[in-house]
Amino acid sequence: MGRSVRRLLMLLIAVPTLADAQGGRRRGRMSGIPSDWQGYVQSGDLNDITNPPYDGRFTFLRIRFEPDGGGGFGFRVDRKWDHDTPRAELHFMKILSELTTIRPFMNGGTILPFDSAELFRYPIAYVSEPGFWSMSDKERTGLQAYVAKGGFLIFDDFGGEHWYNFERRWQEAFPALKIVPLDLSNPIFDAFFRIESLDFSHPYFGMKSEFYGAYEDNDPKKRLVMIANFNNDIGDYMEFSDEGWLPISLTNEAYKLAVNYVVYAMTH
């Protein structure tokens, strides 16, 4: 059975299950979420998003996009890009602050589309569920400028057939930039923690995780402009890290990856 077919079968089973699980958890858990975020978490209304003003600190940037396909979580639209927010950001920033000398913005993060002028104040961007990622022409132009100027992208929370959409969208934006598999020798896996093994699996479906990236000018001696956690979901690990929903050892590894990504992007 080919790899693509395997991914497809797994996705057919996995996605509705996962979506339902996430939606249910979201509805019941508002404790610890800053007041700025409670409106959006409850309503799902974009107008309820309140981004903090820029102050030079590292602020977690989540990219907002119009999902291409997908479904809903019962009473509300499933926007895909907002999976795990804001709890993943809140937890990650706390970890980042405790482990490193980075002094990040602690009250969640900021949410912007690729066509926002504000985007360029946050050179690291997190894209959740790129399997449903879509872009307008303006967003594509914004993304191209963002990467060309020095921005760094983290694609997360996708697996199986989601790859095809991610790959297609990437090539639409960067037809010349090849997506290449990464191994442990890449500096990104030694930027803060020394990652001993890339033997991860998807938190829900057990598929073996794979790490992909794209180099500036396709030159491995230059910086990575993006990293893709395929068949993985470090956002989920971070979101539920305070509940024991997922194994602690895997959650630890997810945090290690996330910290490395940020430190790498701030030094390369």
Partner 1 sequence: MSFSCRREAAYRSRCTIRHFVPAGQQRKPLALRSISWSPAIVVRPPDRSFRGIDAPPRVNAIFEFLFKYSPVMYSRGTLTFAAGIPGWPLLLAAPLAVLGVAVWSYRRAGGALRLGDRLLLGSMRALALALLAFCLLRPMLAVSTAIPQRNVVGVVVDDSKSMRIVDRDSLSRARRVLELVGSADSALVRALAERFQIRFFRTSGAGGRTSDLAGLQFDASRTRLIPALTQAEDELAGAPVAGLVLLSDGADNSSTVVGEPGLAEQLLALRARGIPVYAVGIGSEELARDLEVARLDVPHAVLKDGAMSVEVIVTQRGYAGRKVPVVVEDGGRIVGSREVTLPRDGEAVVTRIRIPTSERGARAISVRVPVQPGEMVAENNERRTLVDVRDRREKILYIEGEPRFELKFLRRAVENDANLQVVTLLRSAKDKFLRLSVDDSVELASGFPRAREELFAYRAIVLGSIEAGFFTLDQLRMLSDFVSVRGGGLLALGGRSSLAEGGYEGTPLADVLPVDLSGPPRDTTTADEVALSPTAAGLLHPAMQLAGTDSGTAERWRTMPHLTMVNGVGRPKPGTTVLLEGKLSDSATTRARLPVFSFERFGRGKSAVFAVQDSWLWQMAEEVPIEDLSHETFWKQVLRWLVSDVPDRLEVIAPDESGPGEGIVVRAAVSDAAYLRANGASVQVTVNGGSPIPLEWAADRDGEYRTTVVPDGEGVQELRVRTVIGRDTLVSEPAYVRVASPMAEFFGAAMRPGLLRQVAEETGGRYYDAGDAMRLAKDIVYSASGATVVERHDLWDMPAIFLVLLAALATEWWWRRRRGLA
Residues that bind partner 1 (CB under 8 A): 54-56, 58, 99-103, 117-121, 123, 145, 148-151, 191-192, 223, 262-263, 265-268
Q: State the minimum distance, in angstroms, from the CB of residue 52 to partner 1.
A: 11
Closer by beta carbon to partner 1, 6 or else 57: 57
Segments in the chain forming alpha helices (H): 3-28, 35-43, 87-99, 137-149, 162-173, 234-239, 248-267
Closer by beta carbon to partner 1, 71 or else 123: 123
Q: State the minimum distance, in angstroms, from the CB of residue 31 to partner 1.
A: 25
Closer by beta carbon to partner 1, 38 or else 267: 267
Please report, as a single letter, which amino acid is at residue 121: R
Q: Which long-range contacts (CB under 8 A, 24 or more apart) does 34-41 make?
A: 34/86, 34/90, 34/107, 34/108, 36/107, 36/108, 37/85, 37/86, 37/108, 41/85, 41/86
212 pairs with which residues across the strands? 181, 228
Q: State the minimum distance, in angstroms, from the CB of residue 122 to partner 1.
A: 9
Closer by beta carbon to partner 1, 86 or else 142: 142
Q: How far apart are CA 56 and CA 154, in angstroms?
A: 20
Q: State the minimum distance, in angstroms, from the CB of residue 140 to partner 1.
A: 14
Closer by beta carbon to partner 1, 109 or else 160: 109
Closer by beta carbon to partner 1, 10 or else 257: 257
- Secondary structure of residue 152 in the 3-state scheme: strand
Q: State the minimum distance, in angstroms, from the CB of residue 97 to partner 1.
A: 11
Provide CB contacts within 8 A for 128, sequence distance 6+.
Answer: 62, 63, 80, 81, 82, 83, 84, 85, 156, 157, 235
Q: State the minimum distance, in angstroms, from the CB of residue 145 to partner 1.
A: 6
